[in-house]
Amino acid sequence: MAGQLFIGLMSGTSVDGVDAVLADFTGKRPVVLAAHHRPFDSALRTRLLALAQPFAGELDAASEVGLELAAAYAEASLAVAASAGVMPAAVAAIGCHGQTVRHRPERGYTLQIGAPALLAERTGIAVVSDFRSADIAAGGQGAPLAPGFHAAVLADPITPRIVLNLGGIANITRLVPGQPVTGYDCGPANILMDGWTERHLGQPFDRDGAWARSGLTLAPLLERMLDEPFFAMQPPKSTGRDLFDLGWVDRRLDGSESPADVQATLLALSATTIATAIRSTVGAHSTALDVVACGGGARNTAFMEALALQVAPARMLSSNVFGFEPESIEPLAFAWLACARLYGRPANLPDVTGASGPRVLGAVYPAPA
C-alpha cells in the first residue's frame, strides 16, 4: 500500500465535538502531523444527546443526525489535512469511530452513526468505520478498542504502565512486561460531571474542577453511587451513556444536596472507581507503576490531583510526557485502526473485549473514483 498518512476522528460520550488528527505511520512510531478540534454547535449536540434514549421517530432522527455528523467529520478531516499542507488524495484513509447512540453488547449489537459513505464522498478519502461490530459478533464487548494501540506506542519493556483514558467514560489498558494486554471500561470519567455542570452552570464542563473544589464530598451519596452493580462486574465490560446519564444521578439524590456538593461527589466517584479498578488490575505492580492519563479529563487539575492521591505510590503522568497530547490519543488510535484494516491485520484484543479470537475490524467505504 502506497500511502502511510491516515486521519483519525473521534467524537465520544462527552458529545462536545470532533477531535481529528493526521498521522504518518511510515515508521515504527506514528508521528502526528496536525490536530484539529471541530466543536458541535448547540443544535447538533442537543439532537445527539436526545438519541441516548428511545423515542418515537428515533430511526429517522438518527439517520438525519448521522448525515449532519458526516458533514462535521468532513470539515474536521479537510481542516486537519489542510493545516498540515496535505492534499486529500495523499491520505490513505480516515478512521472514523462515529457517534455511539446505543451500545448493547449483552444483546449482541452496537450502533454508531456518522454516514461513512457520505464522509467518503465529501472528502474524496476512503473511510473505515463500524469498528466494534466484528468483535461483538465474535462474542466480545466491542470496546474498548484503543488498548492495542496503547500497547503499540506506550508499552515499556521494564516499567508496568496503565494507560488511563479520561473521556466521557474512563477506561484502562494494563501494560505489564511479559504479560497479556488487558483493559476495560471502569465507569464514568467526565460524563456525569460535565452533564451536571451544564445543567446547573450552563457551561459544557467544570474548568480545572473549580466548581467541584468549591463543594464537599457527600459520603452517603457517594456510597449510594458506588452501589451501582456495574462497578462490581468483572471484566470484560464496557459502558456508556446508556447507563451513566443524569437520570442515573437523579435517582440517587435525596433532594437535600447542594449542586456544588453533588459535583464534588461526582468527581470523587470517578476518582474512586478508577483507582479501585487500577489497584485490582495491577496487584503487586502498584508500587512501581506509571499511570499515563489521556483524554479531556487529563486537563482537569482537580480530577488529576484526586486521582494521583488515590493511586499513590504509582506515578500519575500526562500522555504529553511521551509525546502525545491527551486529546490526540483516541483519534490517533482510530487512525491506527484504519491502517490495520487496510493491511488486513486483526486489531481487537480478545483478552480485553472477551471476543472468541482476533478479528479484522472495520468496514471500508472506498474513495469515490
What CATH number labels 148-326?
Answer: 3.30.420.40
The domain segmentation of the chain, as residue ranges, is: 5-144+328-365, 148-326
The answer to whether 167 and 293 are in contact (CB under 8 A) is: no
Comparing C-alpha atoms, which of 291, 357, 358, 356 is closest to residue 321?
291
SS3 175: strand
Whole-number Å distance between alpha carbons of 15 and 164: 19
Question: What backbone torsions phi and psi does residue 255 show, to the nearest 5 degrees?
Answer: 95, -10
CATH class, domain 5-144+328-365, is alpha beta
Asked if 5-144+328-365 and 148-326 have one fold, the answer is yes
The answer to whether 75 and 41 are in contact (CB under 8 A) is: no
Those residues whose C-beta lies under 8 Å from the C-beta of residue 331, and which sit 6 or more positions away, are 8, 9, 10, 19, 20, 21, 35
SS3 67: helix
Whole-number Å distance between alpha carbons of 359 and 279: 30
pLDDT in tens for each of the 369 residues of the chain?
Answer: 446 999 999 998 888 999 999 999 999 899 999 999 999 999 999 999 999 888 999 999 999 999 999 999 999 999 999 999 999 999 999 999 999 999 999 999 999 999 999 999 999 999 999 999 999 999 999 999 999 999 999 999 999 999 999 999 999 999 999 999 999 999 999 999 999 999 999 999 999 999 999 999 999 999 999 999 999 999 999 999 999 999 999 999 999 999 999 999 999 999 999 999 999 988 755 667 999 999 999 999 999 999 999 999 999 999 999 999 999 999 999 999 999 999 999 999 999 999 999 999 999 999 998
Provide, for the chain, the percentages of residues in helix, strand and coil under a 3-state DSSP scheme, each rounded to the nearest 5.
45, 20, 35
